[in-house]
């Protein structure tokens, strides 16, 4: 029996120039385009990314990917510089193996240097 | 002074598109505790104090950094005379091997930066050895990796892997800076770590470059400004404090 690959969930925040709400599809497209451009088609196919949820008002979202490609997906997200031709920063908040723990991270989105050191 | 650093940020004073307060605000939002503003190579050194006073009340600590882009070693030493002891960090952009070699032996230089169009031979074994001996850091500027894509980014990554292999062989100190010209080009500390790893820096060194190395460089320069360092290797110690 083939074992199912483990998933990881990434909570993120999008900081964008004007306040016009973002469309979910634009966010997903820019992240997948970034993975494709940085790591190529093979890695993009293995990353298994899926945008679980995205709140256009708060610009917070959760992205799913395979645990093996977690670092690559995060790097590709960090490199995204625009969505819909609007200057953008994707700020990574937290990664986890379950969605539940991420929801609490979204309630307290401030990342401190202690988080970085741990 | 503890916490993460972005050692390379520009504002409108040095060709950026966001104002100083916008940059500082965004750096704070992204979780940085310290940023180094690179405006001080572009403005009159006498204005440094005024500009630093403006930033005094902001939450991320703001440090003054001067960027010098000389064409010859002579021009470099001339420009260093203007900025040394007035700023917290002095960075030299190495456009040629001569400049790179001279900068790596000068005790008033803290950081070497390499322009995006750099060719690997500029950062040679000799330069790397000098940097390691004189505790001069090599900056990994992240913005070209964010801004460019496709063939250009592939070429940049290839060149930087070569540079890093020389630097790692010689135990060169690293610092990481975004080189942001607008507030949307800034990145948080977690993202900066990931991008440094993309370039080829090992995780432990990347963390050190973000948290500890800038602190070391700035502390050294502040001690020197306060007259605590008499000459390289000789430092006055306040018995009660130190």
Sequence-distant (≥ 6) Cβ neighbours of residue B183 within 8 angstroms: B18, B22, B23, B25, B26
B213-225 and B203-211 are packed helices; what angle lies between their axes, rounded to 10 degrees? Answer: 30
B48 touches chain A (CB under 8 A): no
The fold for domain A7-106 equals: Alpha-Beta Plaits (3.30.70)
Over chain B (242 residues), the average pLDDT of each successive run of 10 is 87 87 90 87 64 71 89 90 83 90 91 82 90 94 93 92 94 95 94 94 94 92 76 70 58
Q: B149 and A74 in contact by Cβ < 8 A?
A: no
CA distance B167 to A56: 44
Interface test with B, best of A17, A60, A89 (most B CBs within 10 A): A89
pTM of the predicted model as reported, rounded to 2 decimal places: 0.88
Element (H, E) at B167: helix B151-169
Could you say which of A17, A78, A111 has the minimum Cβ distance to residue B194?
A78
Could you report the per-residue pLDDT of A31-74, keeping only the tens digit for each?
999 999 999 999 999 999 999 999 998 899 999 999 999 999 99
Could you say which of B30, B195, B210 has the minimum Cβ distance to residue A75?
B195
What ipTM was reported for this prediction?
A: 0.87
Buried b / exposed e across B21-33, counting CB within 10 Å, b at 16+? Answer: ebbbbbbebbbbb
Contacts of A112 in chain B (CB under 8 A): 31
CA distance B161 to B118: 13
Q: B198 and A75 in contact by Cβ < 8 A?
A: yes
B198 touches chain A (CB under 8 A): yes
CA distance B181 to B184: 8
CA distance B209 to chain A (A): 13
Contacts of B186 in chain A (CB under 8 A): 89
Q: What is the DSSP letter of B12?
A: G
Could you report the per-residue pLDDT of B13-72, keeping only the tens digit for each?
888 899 888 998 999 999 999 999 887 766 665 666 677 677 666 778 888 888 998 999
Could you say which of B4, B150, B187 has the minimum Cβ distance to residue A89?
B187
CB atoms within 10 A of CB A45: 10
Task: Please name the residue of chain B whose CA is at the shortest distance from the CA of residue A91.
Answer: B188
A87 touches chain B (CB under 8 A): yes
CA distance B94 to B112: 7
Lookup: tokens for B188: 């948080």
CA distance B223 to A5: 54
**Taking CA B79 as the corner, what is the angle to CA B75 and CA B83, rounded to the nearest 5 degrees?**
165
Asked whether the beta carbons of B4 and B211 are under 8 A apart, the reply is yes
A58 touches chain B (CB under 8 A): no
């Amino acid at each position: 029996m083939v074992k199912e690959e483990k998933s990881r969930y990434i909570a993120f925040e999008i900081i964008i120039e004007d306040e016009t709400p973002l469309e979910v599809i634009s966010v997903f497209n820019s992240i997948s385009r970034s993975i494709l451009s940085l790591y190529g088609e093979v890695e993009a196919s293995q990353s298994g990314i899926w945008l679980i949820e995205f709140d256009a008002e708060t610009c917070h979202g959760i992205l799913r990917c395979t645990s093996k490609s977690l670092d690559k997906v995060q790097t590709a997200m960090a490199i995204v510089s625009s969505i819909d031709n609007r200057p953008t920063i994707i700020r990574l908040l937290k990664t986890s193996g379950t969605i539940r723990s991420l929801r609490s991270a979204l309630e307290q989105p401030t990342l401190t240097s202690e988080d970085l050191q741990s | 002074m503890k916490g993460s650093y972005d050692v390379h940020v520009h504002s409108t004073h040095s060709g950026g598109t966001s104002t100083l307060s916008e940059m500082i605000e965004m750096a704070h939002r992204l979780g940085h505790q310290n940023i180094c503003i690179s405006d001080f190579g572009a403005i009159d050194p006498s204005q440094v104090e005024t500009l630093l006073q403006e930033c005094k009340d902001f939450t991320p600590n703001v440090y003054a950094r001067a960027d010098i882009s000389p064409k010859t070693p002579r021009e470099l030493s001339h420009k260093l005379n203007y900025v040394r002891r007035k700023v917290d960090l002095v960075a030299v952009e190495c456009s040629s091997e001569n400049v790179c070699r001279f900068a790596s032996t000068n005790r008033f230089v803290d950081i070497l930066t390499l322009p995006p169009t750099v060719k690997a031979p500029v950062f040679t074994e000799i330069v790397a050895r000098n940097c390691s001996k004189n505790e001069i850091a090599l900056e990994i500027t992240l913005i070209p990796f964010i801004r460019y894509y496709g063939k250009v980014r592939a070429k940049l990554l290839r060149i930087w892997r070569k540079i890093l292999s020389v630097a790692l062989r010689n135990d060169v100190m690293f610092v990481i800076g975004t080189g942001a010209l607008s507030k949307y080009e800034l990145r948080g500390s977690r993202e900066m770590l990931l991008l440094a790893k993309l370039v080829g820096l090992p995780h432990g060194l990347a963390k050190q470059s973000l948290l500890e190395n800038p602190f070391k460089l700035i502390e050294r320069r502040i001690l020197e400004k306060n007259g605590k360092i008499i000459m390289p290797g000789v430092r006055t110690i306040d018995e009660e404090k130190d």
